[in-house]
């Protein structure tokens, strides 16, 4: 265990699809778990991050809590990976950037179909939304970008294999080709 690479993962403004794609490496997970151990991750349900070799971040930065978690990952991870289209560009959550935050809140909570007791929630437990959704490299330094929505299981597998063996990371054309 002592020599294993410690990996933390998190989903900020994402749909967990990138994490699902990681699980799609299927039986190769067994081989992967010979080399790594997971720290904080939705896969372990560990809530506090320890000192890690590798941090993998899915999703864009949508709210104040996302900023805090992302900075925490940067502080605790030697290498940080922007995992999937939402982390790299804001992706699906960033579709709201063409509207003001007020317009988004009013559409969701005041004008939506079938609303009862319509009001904009203001519970202090709810993280404050940012005016715009940001790609994660606008908030912290990123070491690697792993594109795709989601990155395919084969792409993720290649990434882990090459990173963990210290090789330059190179993908086959099919692994980073999108129609």
Residues forming contacts to ligand SF4 in the complex (CB under 6 A) are 14-15, 17-18, 58-59, 84-86, 91-92, 149-150
Contact assessment for residue 158 and residue 175, using Cβ atoms and an 8 Å cutoff: yes
Which residue, 32 or 146, is less far from ligand SF4 as judged by CB? 146
Give least dist CB 133 to ligand SF4, A: 11
Which strands make up the sheet holding 36-38, listed edge to edge?
36-38, 5-11, 52-58, 77-83, 144-146
Which residue, 67 or 86, is less far from ligand SF4 as judged by CB? 86
Which residue, 35 or 176, is less far from ligand SF4 as judged by CB? 176
| Closest residue by Cα to residue 52 from 64, 43, 40 | 40
Q: Which H helix or E strand runs over 35?
A: helix 28-35
Tokens of 161: 């294999």
The phi-psi region of residue 139 (left if phi > 0; otherwise alpha if psi is between -120 and 50; otherwise beta) is alpha
Q: Which residue is nearest to ligand SF4 (CB)?
A: 17
Contact assessment for residue 60 and residue 133, using Cβ atoms and an 8 Å cutoff: yes
Give least dist CB 80 to ligand SF4, A: 16
What are residue 63's DSSP bridge partners? 129
Which residue, 42 or 50, is less far from ligand SF4 as judged by CB? 42
Which residue, 49 or 85, is less far from ligand SF4 as judged by CB? 85
Give least dist CB 92 to ligand SF4, A: 5
Give least dist CB 124 to ligand SF4, A: 27
Give least dist CB 71 to ligand SF4, A: 20
């Amino acid at each position: 265990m002592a020599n294993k690479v410690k990996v933390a993962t998190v989903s900020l403004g994402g749909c967990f699809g990138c994490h699902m794609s990681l699980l799609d490496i299927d039986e190769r997970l067994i081989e992967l778990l010979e080399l790594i151990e997971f720290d904080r991750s939705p896969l372990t349900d560990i809530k506090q991050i320890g000192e890690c070799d590798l941090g993998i971040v899915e999703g864009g930065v949508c709210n104040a809590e996302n900023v805090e978690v992302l900075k925490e990952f940067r502080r605790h991870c030697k290498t940080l990976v922007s995992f999937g289209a939402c982390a790299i560009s804001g992706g699906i959550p960033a579709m709201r950037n063409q509207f003001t935050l007020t317009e988004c809140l009013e559409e969701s909570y005041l004008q939506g179909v079938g609303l009862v007791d319509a009001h904009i929630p203001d519970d202090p437990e709810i993280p404050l939304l940012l005016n715009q959704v940001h790609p994660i490299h606008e908030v912290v330094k990123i070491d690697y970008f792993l594109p795709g929505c989601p990155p395919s299981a084969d792409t993720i597998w290649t990434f882990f294999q090459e990173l963990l063996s210290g090789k330059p990371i190179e993908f086959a054309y099919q692994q980073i080709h999108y129609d």
